[in-house]
Copies of this chain bind each other. A is one copy, B any other.
Amino acid sequence: MTGRWVVIAAARRARPNDLASGADASTVAGGSCPFCPGHEAETPPEVYAERDPAAPADSPGWSARVVPNMYPALGPAGAAAPPGGGLYERRDGVGAHEVIIESSEHGAELSQLPLEAVERMLRAGRERSRDLGRDPGFRYVQFFKNHGAAAGASLEHGHAQLVALPLVPTAIEEEMSGAARYGERTGRCVYCDMLAGERPEGRRLIRRDDEMAVLAPWAPRVPYETWIVPARHESAFDKTDDASLRALARALKETLARLRRLLDAPDYNFLVHTAPCRSPRLPHYHWHVEIVPRLQPIAGFEWGTGFTINTMPPEEAAANLLHVEI
């Protein structure tokens, strides 16, 4: 009815969860975490790492590491799924699901790591987005992070994820269609116009440099939803150059630190919104990062309507974030 796909992934039920209620995080921190140095053999072989060139793959001595997810939502093509039949559509769950282990430190939250570590995480995301994006079977790479149990994380050790999909997600299609309609009407990029409009007034703008703007968007879905938008037009995250990536790392680290201080270390999701794989440069779409603090669960009104109720106006959120001391 709605055209939205569901990934049925029963094998993921077997995955460990050290953030479930009752799990003993200290035991995990004490030695059984598969993402900690010395446990490289407990993950699938790494597909990317930043490490001492003298150290062999899948050994300690790394500062960031990307491995296939042990319990992937999507995987390599196998036997074709039987067709759904009748009313129902079904297709093979073809894709890739990778984990970026951000740091060798077990319990560190991203904003508490040095700038270089934040940059490494983002670089790993960019490199893997580029590589996965070359596969003609993939149409979209979703780069995201779940921090904390309320944001859907199941392991405590700081990590981000990449899911390569065989189709463009509905949420991205909706966003791109909206941006394309605006572009057709005006000839301009709606995100560029948004940044230009925020500049003089500044009531929703939290931070801006030559590379990146941080703002509380109009109509935020949840309290303190915050976006990082590149100041120059670019539709694809994986085209980001090193200077821009460093600026993104600075903006991200500072924004997460502000949220952490203001909201007492909230759980959050970090989402990269970008153009589909191998798109030409799109004049009307603009990649960006959305940070979604998870202060309260999605309730029935939101499930039923697709609208959200937000008790925090973006202007007030921006002022609070701007004035917190970090």
A interface, CB within 8 angstroms of B: 1-13, 73, 84, 86-88, 140, 142, 144-146, 149-153, 161, 163, 165, 169-172, 174-175, 178-179, 182, 190, 193-194, 197, 218-221, 269-273, 290, 292, 294, 296-313, 316
Contacts and interface: CB of A to CB of B under 8 A. Distances in A.
Contact of A218 (B13, B87, B292): B87
A271 to B, nearest CB: 4
Nearest to A173: B306
Contacts of A171: 2, 303-307
A6 B163 CA distance: 28
**Residue among A6, A149, A218, A300 having the largest count of chain B Cβ atoms under 10 Å:** A300
A310 B11 CA distance: 10
B300 A144 contact: yes
A9 B219 contact: no
A67 to B, nearest CB: 17
B304 A9 contact: no
B149 A297 contact: yes
A284 to B, nearest CB: 11
A307 B146 contact: no
Given A294-B297, A300-B151, A190 B1 contact: yes
Given A2-B175, A197-B87, A305-B165, A8 B300 contact: no
Given A6-B220, A12-B309, A13-B311, A179 B1 contact: yes
A154 B297 CA distance: 11
Contacts of A221: 6
A216 to B, nearest CB: 12
Given A84-B218, A311-B10, A301 B2 contact: no
Contacts of A179: 1
Contact of A174 (B2, B5, B292): B2
Task: Please give me the 8 A-B residue pairs with the lowest Cβ-Cβ distance, nearest first.
Answer: A152-B299, A169-B305, A171-B306, A144-B300, A1-B178, A269-B300, A170-B306, A6-B219
